[in-house]
Amino acid sequence: MSEFWSGKKVLVTGAGGFIGSHLTEALCSAGAQVRAMIRYNSRSDWGCLEELSGEHRSQLEVIASDIADPFAVDAAVEGCDTVFHLAALIGIPYSYVAPESYVRTNITGTLNVLQAARRYGTRRVIQTSTSETYGTAQYTPIDELHPLVGQSPYSASKIGADQMALSFFRSFETPVVVLRPFNTFGPRQSARAVIPTIISQLASSGSLTLGSLDPVRDFLYVKDTARGFMAAAEAGKQAEGEVINVGTGQSVTIGETAAMIGELMGVETGIKLHAERIRPAKSEVMELVCNADKAKRLMDWSSQISFKNGLQETIDYIVANLHRFKPEVYNV
């Protein structure tokens, strides 16, 4: 249990998601009082929070609502020392289909959080960004001064949300830190993402259908990402109003990732390419590699878990939970 977090009341929006559930779990372990905001559904389904231990689930105050509802957000933020804002629509392919929903959820939802934090004098707001805001790398490794290029409606909405957060720091001194994780992976991630797609296909049929194999990514294990969020909240005043990358600085192509997963699983990876899985040419982000020097300087954070070890933990999880995946379906 961390002395810093012991007894602190915090809000995690998007707590039922992949990263949100791991962050919620880490905060519970550190002794925080966690209010978990999840998307309302009539099944009382808490998403990935269902996978937390009974002890951790019993510690939570779960609020089912909608980040785009300002009244619900206001009620959720009230009384919280720290707000970790992760609620967002994140699927890039789906943003081509339903772009307006990304504006409503990602930009208006962020505005609702900021307005409430300003109203209640919240000590720290962590705004979740994404390396997709950089577009295809103009240089690598990518630092926080790299230009922002919206190559999909998703990335454009996240640029808008980040800029809204920074504008509240500049205009109203709202204590915001914009945390920009590179490609997070790990247990509980859906087959919307490439690593679970590869693992679930190989585990179910031994065959593999993918889009482009050439994009280069910097894959960050989810427990390191969760530590990054907590480090951003614990950091001193010098972190406020800043954008901070978190990543490993190590690059790997999608093709190389598939080969490594196949080797760890003991499966031959004969890959079939499928046009439906390829993004529009000018929308595909070809290279993302992180410069995390600022995270080390301002938050004393660096990644700790190797790609290989993270992959093995992810493989073990997906193989044990294969019934939750639909490997034969292209998840957007």
Per-residue pLDDT band at 279 (split at 50, 70, 90) = low
- 9-185+220-249+288-305 folds as Rossmann fold (3.40.50)
At 219-249, the pLDDT tens digits run 999 999 999 999 999 999 999 999 999 999 9
- The percent of residues in the chain predicted with pLDDT above 90, rounded, is 84
Supply the pLDDT for residue 207.
Answer: 79
Residue 34 backbone dihedrals phi, psi, to 5 degrees = -100, 125
Per-residue pLDDT of 83-124, as tens digits, reads 999 999 998 989 999 999 999 999 999 999 999 999 999 999
**Predicted model pTM:** 0.94
Q: What is the model's pLDDT at position 205? A: 83
**Residue 190 and residue 187: Cα distance in Å, rounded?**
9
Q: Where are the domains of the chain?
A: 9-185+220-249+288-305
